[in-house]
Amino acid sequence: MKTEQDRGEARCNQVLDAAADCFRQRGFHGASMSELAKAAGMSVGHIYHYFENKEAIIAAIVERDVAEILALLDSLHDEEDILQALIREAGNNLEEATCGSDDALQLEVLAEATRNPKVLAMVRDGDRLARNRLAETITKGRAMRGLAPLADLEARSEIIIALFEGLTCRNVRNPGVPLDAIATVLRSTLQNLLET
Amino acid sequence: MKTEQDRGEARCNQVLDAAADCFRQRGFHGASMSELAKAAGMSVGHIYHYFENKEAIIAAIVERDVAEILALLDSLHDEEDILQALIREAGNNLEEATCGSDDALQLEVLAEATRNPKVLAMVRDGDRLARNRLAETITKGRAMRGLAPLADLEARSEIIIALFEGLTCRNVRNPGVPLDAIATVLRSTLQNLLET
């Protein structure tokens, strides 16, 4: 039997999925609260019960994305060789990324962030959490291998994240490129950044 | 004395600059033709004389960006060591990129491309030109050094472009990172991708 809290969470996720679809298709400004409500199969009042406005929905979408990245990174901490696992997962996620429809949403949120200080603050807060966790993961992974701590850890983490964010852009601009070839070059680039 | 053609070109650029500003500030859909006209200091009718609609303006903005990339790549072909020049310019452009306000415009165009098939086609056409020119530049640079042609040239080019597009996203998410540290890691990553 589901508790009240479970039901509330399920409802929230229902709104977020519908909102994500609407934002992807019509952009953040093109999608109205009444369209979101229709897509979620709820009344507008019901949506306002969970989210104060569209920005609150974006905040929740950003939080959900960050939580996914943190969960992925945390799952690597149990591996015998964290760096190897990070490099392996990078290639796997590449294939997952090209099947998903999240590129459009990521770009929409980022474009909105350049115009909307509230969205910018959410995006930057989430990014801080994710990049710090990546840096911790790299440090732990290197220590396990007996590699020296990195003086340029911050810069290397930035370049690694830039690679992944850039691949989101590439999915839009050039989706036809063979994924296995990309994954191979991506892995060897990560090896250089993580293991040297 | 300016010719009629020069004047026309200058007027077009005046519209493009004003449009770029409006799109950055209000998004592609938020900016109306009358706002563009006001920003450009022209009548709406005058703007329609140069551009049929907002999509034609985006097409011209995309073409101008691609022309800049092609010009930069072509300028490297006269260098004694093309690969070295490419790596050097990458670091220089990084600093230029963070001073410009073009991140917002790039993201806006890309987000619009995910929703608008006409904009998507423009973006993909431009990307094809730029990535082919990059691949030619790499091939010529390697030949000058006596390095073997690359079987994975397409994948390496993709990863290089992903890095630069990703750095555009990083400027939004994490602008505070020290540029000289990033430039050093970027250059050594490019060395691995271009010279091995």
B174 neighbors A159 (Cβ within 8 angstroms): no
Helical packing angle, B4-30 and A4-30, nearest 10°: 160
* ipTM at complex level: 0.90
**Average pLDDT taken over every residue of chain A:** 90
pLDDT at B1: 58
Measured between beta carbons, the chain B residues lying within 8 angstroms of A177 are 154-155, 158
pLDDT over 60 (residue B109): yes
Are A163 and B158 in contact (CB < 8 Å)? Answer: no
pLDDT at B149: 95
Residue pLDDT, tens place only, A84-102: 999 998 888 776 655 445 8
pLDDT at B5: 79
Kindly list the distances between the CA atom of residue A77 and the CA atoms of A84, A196, B142, in Å, as whole numbers in the listed order: 11, 20, 40
Q: How far is CA A168 from the centre of its chain?
A: 10
Kindly list the distances between the CA atom of residue A151 and the CA atoms of A57, A135, A136, A190, in Å, as whole numbers in the listed order: 38, 12, 13, 17
pLDDT over 50 (residue A61): yes
Span B61-81, average pLDDT: 92
Residue pLDDT, tens place only, B45-61: 999 999 999 899 999 99
Measured between beta carbons, the chain B residues lying within 8 angstroms of A165 are 165-166, 169-170, 173
The CA distance from A119 to A109, in Å, is 8
Point out the residue among B166, B185, B188 whose CB comes nearest to the CB of A166. B166
Amino acid identity of B73? L
Are A124 and B173 in contact (CB < 8 Å)? Answer: yes
pLDDT over 80 (residue B125): yes
* Structural domains present in chain B: 1-51 (1.10.10.60), 55-195 (1.10.357)
Are B173 and A114 in contact (CB < 8 Å)? Answer: no
Are B170 and A167 in contact (CB < 8 Å)? Answer: no
Are B188 and A188 in contact (CB < 8 Å)? Answer: no
Are B193 and A172 in contact (CB < 8 Å)? Answer: no
Span A102-114, average pLDDT: 89
The CA distance from B85 to B87, in Å, is 5
Measured between beta carbons, the chain B residues lying within 8 angstroms of A185 are 152, 155-156, 158-159, 193
pLDDT at B3: 79
